[in-house]
Amino acid sequence: MIQDDQRQKVTQFYDTHPINEKQIIQKLQLQGISIETLTEDILKDYDQDHYGGVEANDILAQKAGIKSTSYVLDVGSGMGGPTRYLAARYGCRVMGLDVTESRYRSALRLAKMVKLNHLVDFHLGNALDMSFADDTFDVVIGQETWAHIPEKARLIAECTRVVKIDGIIAFTDVLRQGVLGHSEMERLQHEMAIPTLETAEGYGQLLTESGCILLEQEDLSGQWAEILTQRLEMYRSLKNQTIEKFGEDHYQKWDDTYSFFVGLFAAEKLGGGRLVARRDSTGSI
């Protein structure tokens, strides 16, 4: 399972993240949007803390074949932006799983605000030791959070275990693309709670070894390099709010860290990818 030290690193990273529940609520209020009448159609433009926004959600949903009868597990669901969006957009049931309590609590509150409790639920738990029964979900998804999870083989095995036979695992993640120096990997571990990175080929092999058939593998590196540059500017636009909540030292530390992260994409040492696989009816886990 995820060890306490890694859990603490991930928790610290997201507890002090510039995008948080308070920031979302403040932005809504500044734009004159009432929390009392908030809907998912409005909230979706403020709570998507992953690369590509709702368009990325739709691409993943379409590739995974998500429909109204699907039961979906979002592994690393954070504040639940994609979880709520998929439920509202496709009418499906979605379970969000996350290890960070502050994100989990925010996800519950935001779901209640937009009255989606009948379709979405959230579970505070460990992706390497899920409490869900075998063959529970039709689809398992993830978006850029699996980089925080060590033991990628165990992660993929758990995702395969809880998805039904012929069910789909579809995810995007930060990937190792070039050679990372020791100091660069140390910074990623210490500053961004990224303990290990897999390659696209490595993920494909792990899926195959877990009893899945790899259906698609797409390189998103160039697209993400542009998105990340834009996100760095967006984070900088939140400077005053970040300083107010966490202090100026934290803002500067975050800016240095994210600039470093964006630089690794520009240098093609990090990349991104989307993988889609189906649990094989003839395979075993």
Residue 62 lies in a domain: yes
Range of the domain at 113: 4-279
Residue 1 has pLDDT above 60, yes or no: no
* Number of domains, the chain: 1
User: 169: helix, coil or strand?
Assistant: strand
**229-264 confidence digits (pLDDT tens):** 999 999 999 899 899 989 999 999 999 999 999 999
DSSP 67-100: -TT-EEEEET-TT-HHHHHHHHHH--EEEEEES-
| Contact by Cβ (8 Å): 116, 64 | no
When the pLDDT of each residue in the chain is averaged and rounded to a whole number, the result is 95
Question: Residue 158 domain-assigned?
Answer: yes
Q: What is the pTM of this model?
A: 0.94
Q: Does residue 284 sit within a domain? A: no
Rounded-to-integer distance, Cα 119 and Cα 106, Å = 17
Q: Domain for residue 220, yes or no?
A: yes
In a domain, 133, yes or no: yes
Interval 37-85: pLDDT, tens: 999 999 999 999 899 999 999 999 999 999 999 999 999 999 999 999 9
Cα of 241 vs its chain's centroid, Å: 23
Report the CATH number that the domain containing residue 71 is assigned in CATH.
Answer: 3.40.50.150
Max CA pair span of the chain: 56
Domain for residue 45, yes or no? yes
Whether residue 285 is contained in a domain is answered as: no
The H or E element that residue 231 is part of is: helix 221-237
Contact by Cβ (8 Å): 273, 218: yes
- Determine, yes or no, domain membership for 106: yes
Tens-digit pLDDT profile for residues 75-120:
999 999 999 999 999 999 999 999 999 999 999 999 999 999 999 9
